[in-house]
Homo-oligomer: A and B are copies of this chain.
Amino acid sequence: MSLIGALLGRPLANREFKERQIGAFEGVPAMGLDALGSSSYGPEAALAILIPLGAAGVSYIGYVMAPILALLAVLYVSYWQTIRAYPSNGGAYTVSKENLGVNGSLLAASALMVDYVLNVAVGISAGVAALVSAVPELHPYTLPLCLAVLILVTLMNLRGTLDAGRLFALPTYTFVFCFLLLIAMGCYAALASGGHPEPVVPPPPPGEAAEAVGLWTLLRAFSSGCTAMTGVEAVSNGVSAFREPHVKYGHRTLTAIVGILGVLLAGISYLVSMYGIAAMDQTQEGYQSVLSQLAGAIVGHGWFYYLSIGSVLCVLALSANTSFTDFPRMCRIVAEDGFLPASFAVVGRRLVFSVGILYLSASAGLLLIVFEGITDRLIPLFAIGAFMTFTMSQTGMVVHWYRELNRSPHDRGRKPLSLAINGAGAATTGLATAIIIATKFSEGAWITLLVIPAAMVLLKSIRRYYDDLAEQLRDDKPLALDKLKPPIIVVVTESWNKLTDKALSFALSISPDVCAVHLKALRGPDREEDEKTFLEQWQSDVEGPARAAGLTPPKLLMHDAQYRRLDVPLLAMVQELEDEHPDRPVAILIPDVVKQGWWQYFLHTHRARRIRSALLSRGGRRLVLMNIPWHLRPADSMATLEQELKSEVDHVREELRQTRTAGAR
């Protein structure tokens, strides 16, 4: 309890929800790390495809990045509109659900879920890969490092969003500051030198050209470069996390994120071609990332270089955090629609959706383990989910504006423009998705394309289960109280002690028909003597007083459990009793000592628990199970709870008193 308390912080009350909400300053680290982090692996992924073109490849980076920047602009205006139109949570799931129907929404949800998980895995593995190439001694520990970072991020998020937002602000703004400054210095040097800046630390020369420039290669580079845009949708999914007015802070955050990302991408690709920086093969000795070469070329290997590269490491590792903010929130919405288990909608002790966080963490951990924490192997799986979601969201918005126009044809306002913008968005992101699928299919994208429909099927069958459950539990009839009869009660006993006493008293207070079963297992040599003592005690301590009080004495059944299975005779007995009294419930009463310390689990045989679970699963619909707990020392009960949750306890007491007063009146 105290360990969990130290790791996760004190429980938060519902009314503290407001205080947990964030503004734009915390919004950029909490929701923008994914998008900003992408700037460090997106251009590099594109350049990596151009390696075989040699020096010529580097000069083509402009042709690859220009459409990516255009696409980013389209996404910006599209999502600006989405945030305005859906000021609570306007994620792809909600937009698709409202405009494209159930199947559309489930496609969006599945694609998003895959995308979020991959974002965690790619972000962490890219960060660790950068760290490992900076400190080669750590190379053998790549996977453990990835998992350690994952656990750290998970714990932080279980503490809640605000803490995470504040905690991540420092590395995020350090990264933004360093690279904007680097780009400014680099551009000044490039312009001042007339397009031929002198690098402080010259980057290694590009390799020999192995093939000629072709459209297919450029398309593949474009597909890889598209990973630079993943995460732009994060703000629209999490609008309700902002403080009021949600839309204003959502727009501010979106503008800040896209603005910084655009400048970073444009600046990096301009300077890369100015300085002639090519990507290097990550599996080879002496590897340096593109950003590392660039920083070295502009400022050399001084303290500012290490500060910049350090901030890249942090931002990449923490970019996973965007998923942790949004994934549980989306899962909650999906769970409330019945497509995910109800536990995804349960708010944890720190007002976050703990199950979603843990599920995300486990899935990403699995991916990291399967792909051994290597970024290159994860990238081809990654972009598809994001671009499928973009497309679903944009298409949904097109339908949205179309319906709005039809609903009020005379008050058109800016709606035709909005329709056009989202239409253009849908067309371009759809085209990009098609290109990514075509160029990345054999490199691993097929896995994503298999997982998404499988996830859809799973979501649908979960919903079917809940529908079925509700149908089976629905009760249209009022309570039938005309033929209430007291239950038949069976008390399980082991010997005559305080437990049996409490159980029998209780049983006799609720029903005149009580019988007791004494189950005998294979035991030691004193067994027969024990039995005799027990029978004598039964007669003097139970049957006598019962007769004296004018009650039917409880019957006693001694049973020898041939297979040492105590549940079987009890089940057989329940069935017999149910057949005999078809109109009465049968209740089994199990007395048990309450374990108040962990060591007690080793000292008791857990007979009560085993009988209970066997009876629960096989006992049929008419059975009722009763536990008669017995505390060896008084329970600490409310003492500790009251300190922790005093207001809650007081509240309950007040409510109870009011109910009683109302009842008395």
Question: Chain A residues in contact with chain B, CB under 8 A?
Answer: 11-15, 17, 336, 341-343, 345-349, 462, 465-466, 469, 472-475, 477-482, 484-487, 496-502, 504-506, 508-511, 515, 521-524, 540-542, 544-546, 548-549, 551, 555, 557, 559-565, 568-569, 571-573, 575-576, 580, 585, 587, 593-596, 602-606, 612, 616-621, 623-632, 634-638, 641, 645, 647-649, 651-653, 655-656, 659-660, 663
A479, B497: Cβ atoms under 8 Å?
no
A563, B497: Cβ atoms under 8 Å?
no
> CA of A216 to CA of B485 in the docked complex: distance in angstroms?
86
> CA of A571 to CA of B644 in the docked complex: distance in angstroms?
14
A629, B623: Cβ atoms under 8 Å?
yes
| Residues of B close to A655: CB separation below 8 A | 557, 559
**CB-contact partner of A624 in B17, B473, B506, under 8 A:** B506
5 pairs, CB–CB < 8 Å, chain A vs chain B: A13-B562, A341-B602, A479-B504, A576-B653, A596-B617
A614 to chain B: closest CB distance in Å? 9
> CA of A618 to CA of B631 in the docked complex: distance in angstroms?
9
**CB-contact partner of A616 in B548, B585, B629, B647, under 8 A:** B629
B645, A620: Cβ atoms under 8 Å?
no
**CB-contact partner of A478 in B349, B541, B573, B621, under 8 A:** B541
Known contacts: A343-B605, A474-B497. The answer to whether A571 contacts B505 by CB under 8 A is no
> CA of A574 to CA of B607 in the docked complex: distance in angstroms?
27
Known contacts: A511-B510, A549-B482, A575-B638. The answer to whether A569 contacts B521 by CB under 8 A is no
Known contacts: A585-B506, A627-B625. The answer to whether A346 contacts B602 by CB under 8 A is no
| Residues of B close to A486: CB separation below 8 A | 509-510
> CA of A227 to CA of B13 in the docked complex: distance in angstroms?
66
B506, A571: Cβ atoms under 8 Å?
no
> CA of A648 to CA of B573 in the docked complex: distance in angstroms?
11
Known contacts: A336-B524, A637-B620. The answer to whether A508 contacts B487 by CB under 8 A is no
B618, A479: Cβ atoms under 8 Å?
no
**CB-contact partner of A563 in B345, B349, B549, under 8 A:** B349
A469, B632: Cβ atoms under 8 Å?
yes
CB closest residue in chain B, given A572: B652
| Residues of B close to A656: CB separation below 8 A | 557, 572-573, 576
| Residues of B close to A348: CB separation below 8 A | 564
List the 10 closest A-B pairs by CB distance, nearest first. A481-B549, A510-B510, A478-B541, A572-B652, A473-B497, A625-B627, A479-B545, A569-B652, A484-B509, A475-B498
A609 to chain B: closest CB distance in Å? 11
A331 to chain B: closest CB distance in Å? 13
Known contacts: A14-B562, A346-B564. The answer to whether A617 contacts B645 by CB under 8 A is no
Known contacts: A562-B648, A616-B627, A637-B620. The answer to whether A480 contacts B569 by CB under 8 A is no
| Residues of B close to A11: CB separation below 8 A | 563, 565
| Residues of B close to A596: CB separation below 8 A | 617
| Residues of B close to A562: CB separation below 8 A | 13-15, 645, 647-648, 651
A620, B605: Cβ atoms under 8 Å?
no
> CA of A645 to CA of B564 in the docked complex: distance in angstroms?
11
A564 to chain B: closest CB distance in Å? 5
| Residues of B close to A500: CB separation below 8 A | 475
Known contacts: A14-B522, A557-B656, A563-B11. The answer to whether A546 contacts B481 by CB under 8 A is yes
B568, A641: Cβ atoms under 8 Å?
yes
> CA of A165 to CA of B70 in the docked complex: distance in angstroms?
80
Known contacts: A347-B521, A542-B479, A565-B11. The answer to whether A509 contacts B652 by CB under 8 A is no
